[in-house]
A and B are shown apart, each in its own frame.
Chain A
């Protein structure tokens, strides 16, 4: 896949941003400025950036809960992602979603979702919506290797196939669903082969090879966009950190295994490509400095962003006009309901 040096440099910067951002997120989580669950994607940068780069600006993206990298790669500003992790009103989900539920409709990112495989039928439905609206766009739906054993996976692939829906299911195969290896969870470990059961095209590529990811993703996404051909893309990668920050990640794998993967770090591979094209160490250092500053700025901006007001507890829950429908439900309401839910007119 032909890619300009300038573009390669840009993608490297994105990958580095994700790595530095995740490192900062881990630190902030341990400092208790981030709560809930926090699933990091360090090690998966090439797969994340490559697949997202292959999307057109108008295409849609849906992911699971390991979603910081996807949000950043899709162009959600780092300060909006960090502010979301901090639970601030400046967050890309207004402080309502946190780490697992990043979203930004303005860039076609329809959400990080928290129930394993729950996002697959939704992505299938987004693709159905695109078809009904005669929009020549497609959906990229990310899921983990753990999600392929859920009924929703089989049902979604079948629907996408029989209805010819423009959706590509990206299986981020990082070898472990939480602490369970693919070998222990899946009868067929070559996960992309499962697409054959539905007659869908599928590819399995080295997810740590940025250019290979871009090439495969571009081919499958354009098939979806132009021919309504659903597909499965399996990206084989590795997560350096535990399942979440709370998991040291060593109960089910060895530190030697992790070290072996770090040797083939996707960032180093792109750095080598850049060096071949004549990008010097001073320029690489400048990129690193820029990324560090960007993450530091994001943290500062997040700290300055106020928490969402309690009066917005019910914001968005029901469509405008619903308050009148609920108005006759107040008599005998449970203690606090009126103040907490109805005071803001159900958030209207």
Chain B
């Protein structure tokens, strides 16, 4: 870990220790939006139901009333159109924050994101930038079935030209969204349906920013490293507590926070210390975030590893509706714990 990272972490701890308030992830996102709308007149919001309806998941509740319809713009259902409009406005220096109701609906706009937004900086040789933010939740667990339960942020994280962030805590939800809005490149901020209601301390300082490209050691431990992002981090933290209580296993949890750029340094430092790693994601692991992590870890930690890097993700099926099938398919605590114990040689 570089000294800079240490300094940043201390600053974050200081910010949390000074003026903070316990709030939900959802409220933290709204606080970030409000602060940035107040700070910079170029910031504006658009998306389906973000205004009159207060947001499909209520992240933008009250913002239309506060900032008016020019700053909080309801769109028709036409994702390709309004994501592309965000790209164009950003090319002139506007700072659009586009909400996509769920990541599943981002696919119809994928061409604008991958084939347009991601290309602008390079194609214009840096002469034109695209400071666009797309916010959207991923996730499963509410029986939303095959077309509404997906987590394919990795598709975007595999695209040069994009930045992809995935906060797992209310503080990072605020800090990363603000960093995304102030960043000069297109950023996809992946939220999560299950975390919206999670509560945590959030710094009230309007200059509190979580750095892009810096992972967070969310729990320190010595026996094994769990690497995750978004809701999988919440799962990993719960499993880590259970492992300590029930098995005397002291797990370290690395919350990636940022998928592209990826903080490989923090992951490698942790695995070099614990010698074992289980990587967890909500999405399908094949060609997934955990696949990328496993490749990087085995190369950087080849001599330190005491066991193969293990991966846990969603069962590789289109998610069925029935609760029993959905529960079996998701990377639940039982599967994560079993993977950890197997990696430690404590269970076959």
Contacts and interface: CB of A to CB of B under 8 A. Distances in A.
A313 interface: yes
B312 A151 contact: no
Interface string A48-81: 0000000000000000000000000000000000
Contact of B315 (A98, A307, A332, A340): A340
A34 to B, nearest CB: 9
Nearest to A332: B308
A97 interface: yes
A307 B146 CA distance: 17
A110 to B, nearest CB: 15
B56 to A, nearest CB: 8
Given A115-B104, A177-B77, A336-B312, A101 B145 contact: yes
A93 B315 CA distance: 20
B108 A336 contact: no
A337 interface: yes
Interface string A304-348: 000110101110010000000000000010111100110000000
Contacts of B155: none
The number of chain A residues touching the other chain, given as a range, is 35 or more
Interface in B270-297: 278, 285-286, 290
B311 interface: yes
A147 B78 CA distance: 8
A235 B311 CA distance: 51
Contacts of A314: 315, 317
A184 B74 contact: yes
Given A150-B108, A335-B311, A95 B76 contact: no
Interface of B: 48-49, 52-54, 56, 74, 76-81, 104-105, 107-108, 142-148, 278, 285-286, 290, 308, 310-313, 315-318, 320-325, 328-329, 331, 335, 338-339, 342
28 contacts: A35-B142, A35-B323, A87-B322, A87-B324, A96-B146, A96-B321, A97-B146, A100-B147, A101-B147, A146-B76, A147-B77, A151-B78, A151-B81, A178-B56, A179-B49, A179-B53, A184-B74, A251-B54, A307-B322, A307-B325, A334-B312, A335-B278, A335-B312, A336-B312, A337-B285, A337-B315, A340-B328, A341-B317
